[in-house]
A and B are shown apart, each in its own frame.
Chain A
Amino acid sequence: MSSGLAILAVDDEPRALTDIKRLLETSASVERVATATSAKEALVFLSGGRYDALFLDVAMPEIEGMALARLLRRFADPPAVVFLTGHPDAAVEAFEVQALDFLVKPVTRERLESALTRVEQHVRGTEAAKGGPSADGSEGAAAGPDVVAVDNPKGGGKRLVRLETISFAQANGDYARIVCEDGRFLLRTPLSQLEKDWGASGFARVHRAYLVNLKHAVELRAQLNGTAVLIMRDDTEIPVARRNVAALRRRLHA
């Protein structure tokens, strides 16, 4: 990526739009920010210029943000979508339209920068897919989703969880129990599938019943019987099967 990001912010609330525009403009990774107050206006902007990402309000009159995001999926080279919402729980559709991130208003600078980093990685990944390595020589964005829709025990709906916040997944029949910074949730996907989907995002199968985010691991503690215990940031102890210990040690020391 040779220059800063071009962002189109879309929100029918003018004050919220002013706020996100100002925040975006103060970020070092952003080169230009355009604003639109409706999905229709956003489509006009998109037809006239190239944007790396849309920061898109979920609830808007006429065409909602989610519908616009779904429409963008039909583009040959769609911009990344970051949803803005007043709802702490985003709708499951956000996951279905492969949103890169979702931010709860009012947006903190830290979360905004995190989302912009994702956009940069996404842009680098897209550039790499088009024609080899990116300008700065970095690898493309990791394959796989950035967020996962889990069953929300409160209210029975779906909740979006960012992969980076997940500490580990534990097998629970046909389900996986997801333990993350926001709590514990169930995901109707077997651990074997999650291992394939999340492997590129730093998750490793350390035990028949455990898939672990190695970024959350702080210590590998050997046991006398040849197995080991992986200590997580929150002091949770995850059993490591004997046959996985050597490979895990190599990976952690790499």
Chain B
Amino acid sequence: MDQRIPGHPAGVEPVSVHFINNVLAAAASYIEEDPDTARDVLAELGAFLSHRLRGPRTVAPADELEHVGVYLRLEQARFPGRIDAELPAAEDLPAAQLAPGEVQAPLSEALNRWLGQHPGRVRLALRARNGALDLQLDRPDEPGEPGERVRIPLGPTTAEGVA
């Protein structure tokens, strides 16, 4: 029963109001003890929303990767010390035109599912491979435990397809 902000690109999971509210709650928690961090969280949230709500367009993989980085820093602000993230270099990404959120949305879905099912730290690695991205999630504190792998295809999109 999640509520979503309308106006998202077709085929991409829209921004979750649940996520926004939780980020704002995290920002509020920092205000007194660490105002600089509170400010950073709000600035990152502004960048996140700008990327997703700026209207129909396509973005370069490097821009989407930056968006994923912003998203992960917001999640790290919500869960300090719990998420280790490794992202590919922009030059390793395949050439493609992406809808905003095309990588972040499935990555967010996988991470949230993981966090909902597993306590403790999570190690997240996103790697470019054969024209797509492989997302690997595992628990660094439980090295023998199987992780989870999610393939995120990078399909070409056109401006017309991003309604």
CB within 8 Å of B: which A70-105 residues:
85-89, 91, 104-105
Q: Are A16 and B18 in contact (CB under 8 A)?
A: no
Contact B118 A13 (CB under 8 A): no
Q: A99 CB to closest chain B CB, in angstroms? A: 15
A71 to chain B, nearest CB (A): 18
Contacts of B78-119 to chain A: CB distance below 8 A: 78-80, 115-119
B21 near A15 with CB under 8 A, answer no
Interface residues of B in 9-43 (CB under 8 A from A): 17-22, 24-30, 32-33
Once the chains are docked, how many angstroms separate the CA of A18 from the CA of B80?
A: 12
Interface SS of A by simple majority? loop
Nearest Cβ in chain A — how far from B98, in angstroms? Answer: 27
If the complex has contacts A62-B119, A87-B2, A88-B3, are A19 and B17 also in contact, measured as CB distance less than 8 A? Answer: no
Number of A-B contacts defined by CB within 8 Å: 72
Q: How far is the CA of A59 from the CA of B30 in the complex (A)?
A: 21
User: What are the residues of chain A within 8 A of B25 when measuring CB–CB?
Assistant: 13, 15-16, 19, 86, 105-107
B119 and A61 form a contact (CB under 8 A): yes
Q: A58 → chain B, closest Cβ, in Å?
A: 10
Interface contact B24-A88, CB-CB below 8 Å: no
Chain B residues with CB below 8 A from A12, complex form: 119
**B residues less than 8 Å from A15 (CB atoms):** 25-26, 29-30, 77-80
Whole-angstrom distance between the Cβ of B120 and the nearest chain A Cβ = 9
Cβ of A157 within 8 Å of any chain B Cβ, yes or no, is yes
User: What is the chain B residue whose CB lies nearest that of A40?
Assistant: B119
Query: Would you call A35 an interface residue if the criterion is a C-beta within 8 Å of the partner chain's C-beta atoms?
Result: no
Minimum C-beta distance from B143 to chain A (A): 20
Q: Which of A14, A17, A155 contacts B1 (CB 8 A)?
A: A155
Q: Which residue of B lies closest to A58 (CB)?
A: B18
* A19-B41 Cα distance, complex, nearest whole Å: 15
In the complex, A155 Cα to B3 Cα: how many Å? Answer: 9
Task: Report the Cα distance A15→B80, complex, angstroms.
Answer: 8
Q: Is the CB of B78 within 8 A of A87?
A: no
Across-interface contacts of B21 in A (CB, < 8 A): 86-88, 104-106
Which 5 residue pairs across A and B have the least CB separation, nearest first? A19-B29, A105-B25, A15-B26, A86-B21, A86-B18
A-B contact pairs, 5 of them (CB 8 A): A13-B26, A14-B80, A16-B78, A86-B17, A105-B24
